[in-house]
Amino acid sequence: MSLAAAGSPVVWLSEDDCVLDEFDALVGERTDAHDYPAAEGVEQNVLMYDSERLRDLTGTSAGRRAVQAELARALLDGPGIVVLRGAFPDPAVVDRASAAFYALIEEERATGAARGDHFAKPGANDRVWNALDKMAVRAPEAFADYYANDMPALIAEAWLGPAYQVTSQINVVNPGGAAQQAHRDYHLGFLSQEQAAAYPAHVHRLSPVLTLQGAVAHCDMPVESGPTLYLPHSQKYEPGYLAWRRPEFIAYFDAHHIQLPLAKGDAVFFNPALFHAAGHNRSADIKRMANLLQISSAFGRAMETVDREAMANAVFPVLLRRKAEGVGDDWLRRVIAATAEGYPFPTNLDLDPPVDGPAPPSQADAVWQAVAEEWTPDRLRQELQAGAERRQS
């Protein structure tokens, strides 16, 4: 178990902190509809909201604040997931967006480019990275009608506050498409066990409030089509970013997850720390399309712009010289950490896909490889430039 002074919060988490009985006690909690007066009810421990009723309740500033407080509480301390029935009430708006998305899929399929995926085998599904950018450029009227919707804005402000940043990925799970592995999501969910354990416990608590996950159903999704699997209340388990890969937690998820059918125009929003996975499409003819919304906090950015590519090129000869003089790896890594971008996102996932893991290599990874393999400065310069081009939209 992690060591901490008596009465003090744990600062570091490890896999030894992952106790299935404690997890079971959390996810065994029942969602009480009486605690959420704006909800229509509870299904399979998930809060169900009628979007038209929410529109009525949020007609005043006080009403909007009350509903947003309830939604934030549901995502943080409640089941961690809400369904907004009829979030997109006009089927024509959804259909125009779907047409734009299918055009993107066909356009990209024609190029023959391989598509990586975060938690499924590449090529298992039809996925469009950065669909937000592509749709806005190719179908701006459909884009405007779609993103003018008030329900994503309502819950994004409830969870993240103003100035949030929207991104979107299209995922089509075709008939026979296999389920994903259960996981948590961005940010810490995209790190390896060792990387996640390097972050203190308060960062494990912080990570989920930096992102709101959502999915808009672009077709009717009966259970046989494989709508997403969820484990309500699992977002409250503090060492969960270290637990979701462990076999006993995977088995628990497989045995206890819930799965809700959705109608076209419904939207699901959830805490990114909720254990979840796309389901297995067992239907004969349903191409299950969802627009996966990842909405980010305005605060996930640095104060200053820094030309880290220029910095890395300037410092690299020093790193090679000091390595030859005998400095240790820790010394080199500290300088690289201060010089190069250590986080691989945001990036252009079409050009920089996560084929070998949940995330592509970072700029710092390239610099470390260059030091370890003693590249020439020109080779590093070319690789950094190529990496910068891959990250451009």
Give residue-wise pLDDT tens across range 14-36. 999 999 999 999 999 999 999 99
Res. 2: pLDDT tops 50: no
Q: Could you read off the pLDDT of 268-313 as tens digits, one per residue?
A: 999 999 999 999 999 999 999 999 999 999 888 777 778 999 999 9
The rounded percent of the chain whose pLDDT value lies above 90 is 78
Q: Where are the beta strands (DSSP E) in 313-359?
A: none
Give 263-316 as a DSSP string: -TT-EEEE-TTS-EEPPP---SS--EEEEEEEEE-TTSS-SS---HHHHHHHHH
What are the pLDDT digits (tens) for 75-130?
Answer: 999 999 999 999 999 999 999 999 999 999 999 988 876 555 545 555 557 889 98
Closest CA to 379 of 390, 366, 388, 391: 366
For 208, phi then psi, to 5°, come to -65, -25
The DSSP bridge pattern shows strands 46-50 and 81-85 to be: parallel
Query: Cα(169)–Cα(127) distance, rounded to whole angstroms?
Result: 7
Would you state the pLDDT for residue 1? 41
pLDDT of residue 223: 96
Number of other CB atoms surrounding residue 210 within 10 Å = 17
Token pair 């009829």 is found at 86
Pairwise CA distance, residues 349 & 335, whole Å:
28
* 80's tokens: 């961690």
Asked whether the beta carbons of 17 and 10 are under 8 A apart, the reply is yes
pLDDT value, residue 6: 54
The pTM for the full model equals 0.85
Percent of the chain with pLDDT strictly greater than 70: 94
**Phi, psi for residue 314 in degrees, rounded to 5:** -70, -40
Question: pLDDT tens digit string along 336-370?
Answer: 988 898 888 888 888 888 877 788 899 999 999 99
Q: What is the mean pLDDT of the chain?
A: 92
Mean pLDDT over 166-180 rounds to 89
Looking at residue 3, its pLDDT comes to 47
> In terms of pLDDT, which residue wins out, 325 or 10?
325
Class level of CATH domain 15-296: mainly beta
pLDDT tens digits, one per residue of 219-264:
999 999 999 999 999 999 999 999 999 999 999 999 999 999 999 9
pLDDT of residue 18: 97
Any residues with CB less than 8 A from the CB of 75 and at least 6 apart, and which?
Answer: 81, 82, 158, 159, 212, 235, 269, 270, 271
Average pLDDT over residues 3-10: 61
